[in-house]
């Protein structure tokens, strides 16, 4: 790397400038995917020039990074975009810390923690250390640094500036268009009002370049994965006796079993149970839902924690521990099914929202994670628990991106409306651009009742008004879903002309003479 130090600094400064160019005053779109690819290409190029090659295991991270980076181009729903950005940055960090070793899939929680702390340290200190070491080695090897005399440059600029100014004035007088462009250029680059902005942008360009330099240097020298935490011996020596752990797990299993038995009809009674007990939908669905999810998470932490600190001295003890863990997980899974059923009931009564959809998907992945924890315990592969947690987290994010959360909400809520239940038009208006192609498909479908299509048309009419006043045509913020939504709206723009504004309060009449307003709903 020291032989190509100039290439390193040129690359990271260019990447810092590209960050400014792609993101300054722009929202996430294709710019994030482009910048991610440029960082990968720049990093691999520098490391390849230094004869550092990625381990085979590390290369499996590339498709995942590209997938999550592309989410900002494909989706607009806020949580999906946020997860795409977070996991892109996280996986690029994993790529940097395991570049030469490639054993990231064997990392434990302690390995992730330690390696990311080291990466942060490298981003802060390694560029300075690298620079000083390079200069010292050059001095020891007798390599003289080229000395640049600034005075000829200064004299040349002093002579050139008045000459260029005279010619520019003559050319501006000769052509009006050139004169306008020249004035715009001077206002852009020599306007003192913009000086604080230029200084701020220059600072974060240099900070980003510095951080990228530290990341590339870390990947080149500190990513061999020579020793993983707890690989030779346990990270924490077991100190709790088997008897104590058995009492804890047995007591929890008995408590969970009693809870499931006593509440079984309450869990799965559905509408009939509500009628018997006198609960409203909201009380039934909300009561205990959060607590049941918390029980599932704490049970997972308990099983993992006791597995680390408990002494199991023979095969019988191992089997007893595994058996109790299986019993607890099975009971927790019953509780999760109950929570899932409550959520379904609430969604049936009140419709879907983003939060309910996130929870819906998360419950499935929590259940899979619990199952994986027990399987790894039985197979004595506890080290892979961190990989299971990472897989469940990635699975949750991938599920949201493939599901199209806002499109899913539209389909479910419109289906409810077709069954005679209400449709929250303001809430659908508040959803992201992801919902528009689905709305158009439903509006053009003859299989829905006229009043339902009327309400869907009202959503599209509001979206059309909003998109017309907040259109963003800058290519850096372009998203695929935005392009698809614009094409879809053009298909029904003529039909939406039947909707008429009736006052200045954003209220309008549909062809079915129903009054709606373009107000934002709440999740």
- Please enumerate in sequence order all residues whose Cβ is within 8 A of that of 424, keeping only pairs 6 or more positions apart, or say none: 351, 413, 521
Torsion over CA: 265, 271, 276, 277 (sign): positive
CA 86, CA 32: separation in Å to the nearest integer? Answer: 12
* Predicted local confidence at residue 473, as pLDDT: 65
In the chain, where are the structural domains located? 2-147+203-221, 150-190, 242-403, 406-517
The token duo for 515 is 């009054």
pLDDT 10s digits, 204-242 = 898 999 999 999 999 998 888 767 765 666 666 778 888
Give the span between the Cα atoms of 380 and 307, in whole angstroms. Answer: 10
E strand segments, 199-263: none
**What residue ranges of the chain have pLDDT lower than 70?**
1-3, 138, 142-151, 154-155, 188-195, 226, 229-236, 263-290, 467-473, 504-506, 519-523
Q: Report residue 484 as tokens.
A: 């698809």
pLDDT at site 269: 53
Residue with tokens 């038009």: 425
Contacts of 500 (CB under 8 A, 6+ apart): 508, 509
Residue that the structure tokens 């399987």 belong to: 375
Contact 393, 323 (CB under 8 A): no
Distance CA 421, CA 223 (A): 58
What backbone phi and psi angles, to 5 degrees, belong to 282? -65, -45
Tens of pLDDT, residue by residue over 463-496, are 887 765 455 568 888 889 989 998 998 888 888 8
| 3-class DSSP state of 174 | helix
User: Residue 459, Cα to own-chain centre: how many angstroms?
Assistant: 28
Residue 507 phi/psi, 5° resolution? -100, 145
pTM of the model: 0.83
How big is the chain, counted in residues?
Answer: 523
**Is residue 492 within 8 Å of 445, Cβ to Cβ?**
no
Tokens of 407: 């499109």
């Amino acid at each position: 790397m020291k032989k190509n130090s100039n290439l390193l600094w040129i690359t990271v400064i260019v990447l810092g400038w590209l960050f400014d160019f792609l993101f300054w005053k722009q929202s996430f779109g294709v710019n994030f995917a482009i910048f991610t690819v440029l960082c990968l290409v720049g990093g691999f190029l520098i490391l390849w020039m230094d004869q550092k090659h990625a381990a085979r295991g590390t290369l499996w991270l590339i498709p995942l990074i590209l997938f999550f980076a592309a989410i900002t181009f494909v989706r607009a729903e806020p949580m999906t975009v946020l997860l795409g950005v977070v996991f892109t940055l996280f996986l690029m960090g994993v790529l940097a810390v395991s570049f030469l070793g490639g054993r990231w899939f064997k990392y434990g929680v302690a390995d992730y923690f330690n390696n990311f702390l080291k990466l942060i340290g490298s981003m802060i200190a390694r560029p300075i250390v690298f620079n000083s070491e390079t200069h010292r080695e050059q001095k020891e090897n007798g390599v003289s640094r080229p000395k640049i005399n600034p005075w000829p440059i200064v004299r040349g600029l002093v002579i050139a500036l008045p000459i260029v100014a005279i010619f520019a004035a003559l050319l501006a007088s000769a052509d009006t268009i050139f004169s306008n462009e020249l004035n715009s250029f001077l206002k852009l680059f020599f306007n003192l009002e913009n000086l604080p902005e230029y200084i701020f942008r220059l600072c974060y360009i240099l900070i980003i370049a510095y951080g990228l330099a530290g990341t590339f240097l870390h990947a080149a020298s500190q990513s061999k994965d020579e020793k993983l935490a707890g690989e030779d011996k346990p990270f924490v020596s077991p100190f709790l006796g088997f008897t104590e752990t058995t009492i804890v797990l047995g007591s929890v299993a008995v408590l969970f079993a009693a809870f499931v038995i006593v509440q079984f009809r309450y869990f799965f009674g559905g509408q009939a149970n509500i009628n018997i007990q006198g609960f409203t939908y909201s009380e039934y669905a909300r009561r205990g839902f959060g607590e049941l999810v918390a029980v599932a998470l704490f049970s997972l932490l308990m099983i993992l924690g006791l597995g680390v600190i408990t002494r199991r001295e023979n095969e019988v003890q191992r089997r007893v521990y595994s058996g109790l863990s299986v019993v607890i997980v099975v009971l927790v899974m019953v509780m999760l099914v109950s929570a899932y059923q409550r959520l379904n009931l609430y969604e049936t009564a009140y419709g879907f929202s983003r939060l309910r959809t996130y929870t819906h998907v998360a419950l499935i992945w929590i259940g899979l994670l619990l199952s994986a924890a027990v399987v790894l315990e039985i197979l004595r592969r506890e080290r892979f628990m961190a990989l299971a947690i990472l897989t469940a987290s990635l699975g949750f994010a991938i599920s949201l991106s493939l599901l199209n959360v806002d499109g899913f909400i539209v389909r479910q809520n419109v289906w409810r409306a077709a069954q005679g239940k209400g449709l929250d038009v303001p809430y659908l208006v508040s959803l992201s651009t992801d919902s528009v192609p689905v709305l158009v498909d439903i509006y053009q479908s003859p299989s829905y009742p006229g009043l339902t299509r009327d309400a869907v048309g009202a959503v599209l009419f509001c979206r059309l008004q909003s998109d017309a006043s907040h259109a963003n045509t800058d290519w850096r913020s372009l998203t695929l879903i935005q392009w698809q939504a614009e094409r879809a709206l053009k298909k029904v723009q003529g039909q939406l002309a039947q909707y008429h504004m009736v006052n200045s309060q954003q209220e309008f009449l549909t062809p079915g003479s129903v009054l709606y307003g373009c107000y934002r709903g709440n999740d």
